[in-house]
Structure 1
C-alpha cells in the first residue's frame, strides 16, 4: 500500500467509530497527515480544529519528565536523590528516589483513585436511583479538582504502599504530582514557567498552557444513548495532568523528540530506556511503539512514537465512543500502526 492508501484506511477507521477530535501523523520534518472531525462544542456547533485547545491529561507527564531531565543535565537534580530530601515531613520510605517517581516504581498509592472511590461511595449512598454508569460519571468529578499538598500527604500517609520500592512498575499520578513540586524547588520557578522557558518557547508551542479550564473544547460522554457534557468548573494545576494543547503544538513536540531536540542524545536514550521495560519520563510501550495516553473528564490525548521508523502520531478527542466501538477502534488502529511502520521502513 502507498502512503495515501494507508492514511485513507486510518480515516475510514475514524469515520466508522464516530471519532470526534483531531489527529496528526508526522516525521521529524514533515506533517504526513492531519485531519479534524466533529465539534469542540456540540451545543454551539463549534468545530474541532487543529488549533482547538483541549486537555491532554497525563500526556502532561512527558513534559514533567523532560523538565526533570533538563535539570539533571544542568547538574541541579540528582535522579538518585531521596524524595524525602525535598519533603522532610512526608512520611514515605527513605528509599524512594526521584528516579522511582519518574519510572512509576515508588509504590506510592494513586491519589485520584482514592478520590474517585471515596466519591463513588458517597454518590451510591446519596443517589441510589442512578444507574452505575451515571454514578461513575458524577464520581469522576472528584478527581478533576486540584488537591492541596496537605491533602496529598494525608492520602499517602493513611494508605499502605502498593508494593516495595523499586520492585515493580505501577501507574500512580502521585509520583508526577511530587515531581512537579521538585521541579519548582530545584529550579526556583513555577512548573509552568520552567516548562514554558525550557520546552514550549523553544518549540514555538504557543497554544499550550497549564490549567485545565483553558480548554476551548468541552468534553462529553455517551451514557445510555444520551450525550452528557462534563462541567468546565473544575481546575487541575498539577504536573501529573494539568496541561492543555492543540494538535499543531503536539505535532511540534513529537517532531522535536524525533529530532532529538531539547535534551542531549544521551538523555533521550535514557528517557527511552524504560524501567523494567515498562515506564520512564512519561513514556511506556504499546507493541513496538512508545506511547502515552491522557484522560481528564472526558478529554483524551494519545501520543505514539516509533524512533526507528521516524514516525509520530497524536490524537486529541473530547467524546468517548461506546465500549464496542472503542475496542474495535483500538484493534484496528493497532493494525494500522503496523502498516505505517512497515511503510516507513520500506522508504529507507
Structure 2
C-alpha cells in the first residue's frame, strides 16, 4: 500500500510541477528515435481517465509524406485478442455463452472439438494448431477468405497437444472465437465491437475492417532499410477476433481504463481474465514479467505493426505504444514511459555505439547491403547496446547480434562476418553462406 500511495503522490506531484519539462524531454527522446530511423508511431500515457502525455513521430504514408498525428490509426494486431475476450465475457454475462461450452457446438470438425472449452481457447490451452504457422500462410493471408475457407485452411493440421494439458499461443483460438460471436449474436464482429465497446466508450478511432485504408488516416506498415519499404498487404478477413482491429493510442488507453474500472464487464469477469503469475496468459491478457508495480498487458505484431499496452490497476496508469516501423525493442519505450510517470526523464540512446567496437569501425560496417539473387537487402545499425540486423523481407524481425571479435558477430547459430575494406558482409546459417555487398542494388 505504501508503494502505491507513494507512486500516486509522485505522479500527482509530477503532473502539477514537472509536466512541461517532462514533455519536452520525452518529445526530444521520440524525435531522436525517429531521426535515427528507429521508430515511427504513436504513444500515450494515461493516469486515471486523463491522457498525461501523447506523442506521434514519422509518416503514416511515406510516399505521400503524410505525417502521423494523434488521430492516425494503427493495426493493433494481437491486442485485438483483449477486445475479443471482453466480448466473449460480455456474452457470458448475457447468458448467450458459457466458458465451459465445447467447441463442438460450433465446429465439430476441429480436432478434439468435443474436449475443447471456450475458456481453453481464451487462455490458449486448447491445443488447436496455430494457422499462422502453416507454410504458405504469408501469401494466403494477403487475400480475402470466407469463414469456411479459413476453417479448411487449418482443420487437417495436427493438434499441438491434448486440450488442457499444456499452453501454446494460437491465433486460431481467437479467430474462431470471433466467428462464434458472430454466430450467437447474428451480427458481424465489426458490428459487435462497435455496439458493445466502441459506442459506449466513445472510441471514435477504433474499428474492425478487412483492409488498411489510407483514406481513414490509417498508417501503412514499413520495413526500415536505407529507405522505408512498404510491407506486403494483409487482408484481415483472415484475422477475425485475433488481429484485425485498428485503433490509436488514446482510444486504447480509454479502453483499458474502462476495462479495469468496471465500465465494460463485471469485477468477477475481469478477475477471470487476469492471470496470477508473472508471464502467465489469462483470458486475453498477460501478467507483466515484473512485479513492481504489478501490471498486465498484451503485445501484437503483424507485418511491422508492433503494438503494446501495459496497465497498472492499483495506480490506474496506462502505457500504449503503437508502431508502423521500428527496429528498436518497444519494451524499451514502455520502460521510458513508465519512468516518465514516476518523474524520471529519459537519456538519449547512443545509436552510434556497439560495445567492443570503436565508432570508426562501426561506421565502416553500418548501413545497407544488397543481394542480387534473390533480391533483398539487409541493414546494419545499433540499438545502443547491440549491433542490429534488419532483413528487408516482409515479416522479418530486427535481430540483436553479439560481438565475437575480429568484425564477427553471432545470434544463436547465425553468424555475420564483416569485411570493411570490401564493404561486404557474409551471413552464415545452417552451413550456407551468402555475401551481401554495399553500394549496388
Shorter-chain TM-score tier: 0.7 to 0.9
Name the TM-score, length of structure 1 as normaliser. 0.81
Matches within 5 A, 1:44-193: 44-114=64-134, 117-118=135-136, 140-193=138-191
Report the alpha carbon displacement of residue 303 of structure 1 after superposing the two structures with TM. 1.2
Offset at residue 112 of structure 1 (A): 1.1
SS of the residue corresponding to residue 201 of structure 1 reads helix
* Structure 1 residues 151 and 234: alpha-carbon distance in aligned structure 2, compared to 1, 3 A threshold: closer
5+ residue gaps, structure 2, are: 1-9, 345-441
Counterpart position of 2:62:
42
Corresponding residue of 1:239: 241
Name the SS for the 2:322 alignment partner: strand
Q: Residue 24 and residue 277 in structure 1: after superposition, are their counterparts in 2 closer, same or farther (change >3 A)? A: closer
Distance (whole Å) between structure 2 residues aligned to residue 7 and residue 304 of structure 1: 20
Separation (CA, whole Å) in 2 of partners of 1:343 and 1:17: 21
CA distance in 2, matches of 1:266, 1:278: 19
Shift of 1:337: 5.7
Alpha-carbon spacing, 1:108–1:247, altered in 2? closer, same or farther (3 Å): same
CA distance 1:192–1:274, change in 2 (3 Å):
farther
Residue segments in structure 1 that go unaligned for 5+ positions in a row: 120-139
Counterpart of 2:297?
A: 291
Q: 1:343 to 1:161 in 2, by over 3 A?
A: farther
1:17 is matched with which residue?
Answer: 33
C-alpha contact (below 8 Å) 1:38/1:47 kept by paired residues:
yes
Name the structure where helix makes up a greater proportion of residues.
1
CA distance in 1, matches of 2:278, 2:95: 25
Matched residue SS, 2:211: helix
CA positional deviation for 1:340: 5.1
For the residue of structure 2 that corresponds to 1:183, the secondary structure is helix
The structure whose residues are more often strand, as a share, is 2
Task: State the Cα distance separating 1:192 from its structure 2 match.
Answer: 1.5
- Specify the structure having the higher radius of gyration (Cα): 2
| Secondary structure of 2:64 counterpart | coil
SS in structure 1 of the partner of residue 180 of structure 2: helix
Please state how far the C-alpha of 1:82 moved relative to its aligned partner: 0.8
Deviations 1:238-277 (A, max 9, x none): 1111111122322321221242211111111121136996
C-alpha separation between the residues in 2 aligned to 1:191 and 1:262?
17
| More deviation, 12-21/91-100 | 12-21
Q: Which residue of 2 aligns with 1:228?
A: 229
* 1:106 to partner: Cα distance: 0.7
CA contact (8 A) 2:142 2:234 kept: no
Q: Conserved in 2, the CA contact under 8 Å of 1:27 and 1:258?
A: no
> May I ask how many residue pairs the two structures share in their alignment?
315
- Structure 1's 161 and 319: CA in aligned 2 closer, same or farther, altered over 3 A? same
Deviation, structure 1 residue 230:
2.1
Matched, 1:217 2:237: no
SS in 1 for 2:219: coil
User: 2:127 is paired with a residue of what secondary structure?
Assistant: coil
How far apart are the structure 2 equivalents of 1:146 and 1:239? 15
**Cα distance, 1:168–1:342 mapped onto 2, change above 3 Å:** farther
Distance 1:205 1:171, change over 3 A: same
Deviation larger for 21-30 or 253-262: 253-262
Give the aligned partner of residue 313 of structure 1: 319
Report the Cα offset of residue 202 of structure 1.
0.2
CA–CA distance in 2 between the matches of 1:188 and 1:65?
A: 18
Q: Which residue of 1 aligns with 2:428?
A: none
Question: Normalising by the residue count of structure 2, what TM-score does the alignment of the two structures yield?
Answer: 0.65
Deviates more, 1:43-52 or 1:183-192: 183-192
Q: Distance in 2 between matches of 1:108 and 1:304?
A: 27
Q: Secondary structure at the match of 1:213?
A: coil
**1:253-268 correspondence to structure 2 within 5 Å:** 253-268=255-270
In structure 2, the CA distance between the partners of 1:146 and 1:280, relative to structure 1 (3 Å rule), is: farther
Distance 1:241 1:250 in 2: 14
